[in-house]
Amino acid sequence: MRPLTPLRMFLLLAPFALFFAATLVLGPAIGPVRVNLHEAWAQRGNLAGSLDASVLFLARVPRTLLAALAGAALALAGAAFQALLRNPLAEPFTLGVSSGGALGAVIAIKLGLDVTVLGLSPVMLFALAGSGATVGLVYALGRTRGVLSTSILLLAGVTVSFCFAALILLVFYFSDWTETHGMLHWMMGGLDVTGYGSLARVAPFALAGMAVLLAAAGDLNQLSLGADLAASRGVRVRAAQRWAYLAASLTTGAVVSLVGPIGFVGLIVPHTVRLLVGPDHRVLLPASLLTGAGFLILCDTVARTILAPAEIPVGVLTAALGGPFFVGLLLRAKRRAGAWE
């Protein structure tokens, strides 16, 4: 028997923290342009006057932080959705958060609005609104007599995603070449957002949602066993489901509004981490967070250097890695079919 003690938790999480720390240091140091790090650090107060300093502090560091935030958020939300839906194949976008965000974004691009609210661009605002509306709709559809039905939630999420995909195509159909280019670019998901401004505006939402999820790890363990067992062990099932669902959606929606739908991170990372540390969410959630952050920094570093000076959208890279992984997963699930079902 291996109970979770503070020491055990520390030992389990330490390698993941080291991985994240390593990527956090290496990410900004690597890029198509050679940067003299000593020079950059010495000139940190004089960004305008030093190319090294401005590349490092105005481009690479914020971009690395954004990759860390997005990766952490998507991986954590993915792990939470898998527990909530009691389905290891769920991910942050299963319930339509990204298709809602994408519909909002393409509408904003099509309308070509030029207003900002609280420093958020129209595309971000519309994407946030689209995600939020989708979450509300799917949640309302998935509730039966006050209790969330995981199977109906899944169906509702998939159906809403299909409808929105059709609407997105419709908007494409009525758009000209420049508009569709912008839309496609958004939908590929990318971290080429420069500066700290938008990062600082989105981070509080994502971090708040992540904090709620980390605090709910014990309840998520119980919910992953089923609502009846959870309830008979003292979990207030409805409240716990609602909070976790909203927190995971907020986390995802905030990140998607800024970087678009970066696929598969929310699926690959929790899965890999579960293979390494097991399914206990008290360890799985923080470990997924750290791994997601490090993994996306790594992918982004590859995406922006491998074809330099051109850049692969990082969403394309994660999806390219994620596809084969998903197939492998399905094959594994097929071999295990029948266990407890």
Partner 1 sequence: MNELAAEQLHFAYRADEVVSGVDLTFPRGAMTALVGPNGAGKSTLLRLLGNLLRPTRGRVLLDGRELSAWPQAELARRMALTPQTVHLYFPFTVGQYVLLARHPHRGWSPFESAADVAAARFALEQTESTHLTERSVLELSGGERQRITLAAALAQAPDWLLLDEPTASLDLRYQVEIFDVLRRLNRERGLSVIVVTHDLNLAARYCPRLILLAGGRVVADGAPPEILDPALIRAHYHVNVEVGRRADGVTPFLLPTGAEPS
- Residues in touch with partner 1 (CB under 8 A): 1-6, 9, 83, 86-88, 217-218, 221-222, 224-226, 228-229, 231-236, 274, 278-280, 282, 336, 339-341
CB of 333 to partner 1, least distance (A): 10
CB of 19 to partner 1, least distance (A): 22
CB of 89 to partner 1, least distance (A): 10
Peptide bond into 309 cis (omega under 30): yes
And the tokens for 291? Answer: 């791994």
Q: How many CB atoms lie within 10 A of CB 172?
A: 15
**Residue (184 or 229) nearer to partner 1, CB:** 229
CB of 210 to partner 1, least distance (A): 16
CB of 323 to partner 1, least distance (A): 23
CB of 233 to partner 1, least distance (A): 4
**Residue (5 or 45) nearer to partner 1, CB:** 5
**Residue (87 or 175) nearer to partner 1, CB:** 87
Q: Which residues lie below 8 Å from residue 272, measured CB to CB, with a gap of 6+?
A: 291
**Residue (53 or 75) nearer to partner 1, CB:** 75
**Rounded Cα distance, 259 and 239, in Å:** 30
**Residue (309 or 338) nearer to partner 1, CB:** 338
**Residue (1 or 310) nearer to partner 1, CB:** 1
- The answer to whether 304 touches 32, Cβ cutoff 8 Å, is yes
Q: Give the angle subtended at the CA of 207 by the CAs of 206 and 211, to the nearest 5°.
A: 120
Give CA separation, 294 vs 58, 67, 126, 172, 290, in Å. Answer: 20, 8, 29, 34, 6
Residue with tokens 């596809």: 323
End-to-end CA distance of the chain: 26
And the tokens for 151? Answer: 């199977």
